[in-house]
Amino acid sequence: MIKKQPISIIGMPIDLGQGRRGVDMGPSAIRYAALQQTICDLGFEVEDLGDIPIPSPESLEISDQNLKYLHEIARVCEELANRVSGVIQRKRFPLVLGGDHSMAIGTVAGAAKHYQNMGLIWYDAHGDLNTGDTSPSGNIHGMSMAASLGIGHPLLTHLGGFAPKVRPENVVLVGARELDLGEQQLIRDLGIRVFTMHEVDRLGMARVMEETIQVVSNGTDGVHLSLDLDGLDPSDCPGVGTPVPGGITYRESHLAMEMLADSGILTSAEFVEVNPILDQSNLTAKVAVALISSMLGKKIL
């Protein structure tokens, strides 16, 4: 469990990394679902550092269809990396709210600056292991794990002035059920540990998380959780930009977060891809807050 370390909330209302509008309102939706009060009720000291300023897509032009909004995403992710790094320097736990998953390029960069060998849990329906050469869409939210591994455009891979941020043997992808051909090949080439929905169904979430925790904590000195709400089934989280049926259940996700809390390994976290426009009664943001509370050690009894 995170030992009542003070928490700093950072909003990253970015929607430049993907094609469907509305995810820029994700941080506000999560805050509206009583995030700060929920964390305070668990006994944590918490501060909200507000949002990173993000330009709107309407004010920008796409110069490269294979890497849409590359320069703008790199710039705002650099700002996020600095903000996350500053939080860790102050011995606080960074909790970042999104926003599309391109933001992880910044969050991971800011966190990795403080660890020799950081572990990474990627809780997601997608691999986010594309590059400008392999991406079918050119949307950078599908490239963020690749960039963190040092693969892709230098503006993304060398954010913060160093690469890679994490090593393949310290990364686990949980909940994958939609992988592009280029991503499948990269997973095989790098030997990344992936628990697809097949493994989640066959092994059960308890076994999946036991193995995940073992991998990401083996020889590492910090662990970042990057949780995309589309990792959960759309019946539980309808308000995401790229929903994929057949996902992790609400209860399985709570178990995963509870096991992470018990392990005490997490040093930073982000919850991304909440899109209130596509949601029902802010349900997805409420799920995000509930999962954050389990991650921070809330128990049923």
What dihedral do alpha carbons 130, 201, 212, 80 form, nearest 10°? 40
Give the pLDDT confidence score for residue 218 in this predicted structure: 98
- Minimal CA–CA distance to 95: which of 256, 283, 213, 270? 270
Helix axes 250-263, 205-217, angle to 10 degrees: 40
Give the pLDDT confidence score for residue 3 in this predicted structure: 65
Binding site residue list for Mn(2+):
101, 124, 126, 128, 228, 230
In Å, the largest CA–CA distance within the chain is: 54
Give the pLDDT confidence score for residue 301 in this predicted structure: 86
Residue 14 CA to residue 97 CA, distance in Å, equals: 10
> Domains plus CATH for the chain?
7-295 (3.40.800.10)
Give the pLDDT confidence score for residue 206 in this predicted structure: 98
Give the pLDDT confidence score for residue 254 in this predicted structure: 98
Q: Could you tell me where the DSSP H helices lie in 97-161?
A: 104-112, 144-148, 154-157
pLDDT tens for the chain, 301 residues: list them: 556 899 999 999 999 999 889 999 999 999 999 999 999 999 999 999 999 999 999 999 999 999 999 999 999 999 999 999 999 999 999 999 999 999 999 999 999 999 999 999 999 999 999 999 999 999 999 999 999 999 999 999 999 999 999 999 999 999 999 999 999 999 999 999 999 999 999 999 999 999 999 999 999 999 999 999 999 999 999 999 899 999 999 999 999 999 999 999 999 999 999 999 999 999 999 999 999 999 999 998 8
- Residues linked to residue 126 through DSSP beta bridges, in sequence order: 178
Would you please indicate which residues are annotated as catalytic (active-site) residues?
101, 124, 126, 128, 141, 228, 230, 273
Residue 17 CA to residue 33 CA, distance in Å, equals: 24
Give the pLDDT confidence score for residue 285 in this predicted structure: 98
